[in-house]
Amino acid sequence: MEVASDVGRVLAERGIEVVYGGGRIGTMGAVADGALKAGGSVVGVIPRHMIEWEIAHDGLTKLHVVDTMHQRKALMADLSDAFVALPGGAGTMDELFEIWTWAQLELHAKPIGLLDVDGYYRHLVALIDHMIAEGFLKSPHREMVLVDDDFERLLNRLGQYEPPVYRWFEEAPIDQS
């Protein structure tokens, strides 16, 4: 939680607006609180049913309310210039893999970063490397995800990101039947 709050603070200090899921709890709430305390702008996107659960953050610069999780992810993607995943659970993985897949499909060319707090993502990175070794993922797609254990350094790398020029479907075998 401390790291998440620091992430929000650093983003605010750099004048970077936070776009996130709109909740007041968990690491996403800590990022929002850290940014707000530092005078930053924080935009939340939350599905209506989560407001009914009373977990929406009520101190945001702006809060968008949408009907579905799909709308939430699409609007967050549209409003964002880059994506950073902190340690998290199934929702974090869902959002990470969807935005990464969208990059592979050239639906966006925005940088994606993993903040590897205390080695949290080491097993995921090993799985990604295994996907490459087994032929299910190409190296240029791995390069779309920047991994670092230092947030300031990760931000700098995200700012210098150039998407790889690679189309996986151009290498697909042609059906000879």
Closest by CA to 143, choosing from 167, 115, 163, is: 163
Structure token digits, residue 25:
């709890």
Block residue for tokens 């032929």: 135
Closest by CA to 7, choosing from 159, 152, 153, is: 152
pLDDT at 117 over 80: yes
CA distance 60 to 172: 46
- Residues whose CB falls within 8 Å of the CB of residue 72, separated by 6 or more in sequence, listed in order: 21, 45, 46, 47, 66
Structural domain spans, the chain: 1-80, 82-157
**What's the confidence (pLDDT) of residue 177?**
53
Structure token digits, residue 121:
């993502």
Which range (1-10, 125-134, 147-156, 159-168) has the least confidence? 159-168
Mean pLDDT computed over 122-130 = 97
3-state secondary structure of 148: strand
pLDDT tens by residue, 139-167 = 999 999 999 999 999 999 999 999 988 77
Provide the pLDDT confidence category of residue 175 given band limits of 50, 70 and 90. low
Structure token digits, residue 148:
């670092």
pLDDT tens by residue, 55-94 = 899 999 999 999 999 999 999 999 999 999 999 999 999 9
CA distance 66 to 72: 6
Counting residues of the chain whose pLDDT is more than 70, the rounded percentage is 94
Beta bridge mates, 42:
18
Which CATH fold topology does 1-80 show? Rossmann fold (3.40.50)
CA distance 158 to 156: 5
Mean pLDDT computed over 33-39 = 98
Closest by CA to 31, choosing from 62, 23, 102, is: 23
Which CATH fold topology does 82-157 show? Rossmann fold (3.40.50)
Check if 1-80 and 82-157 are the same fold. yes
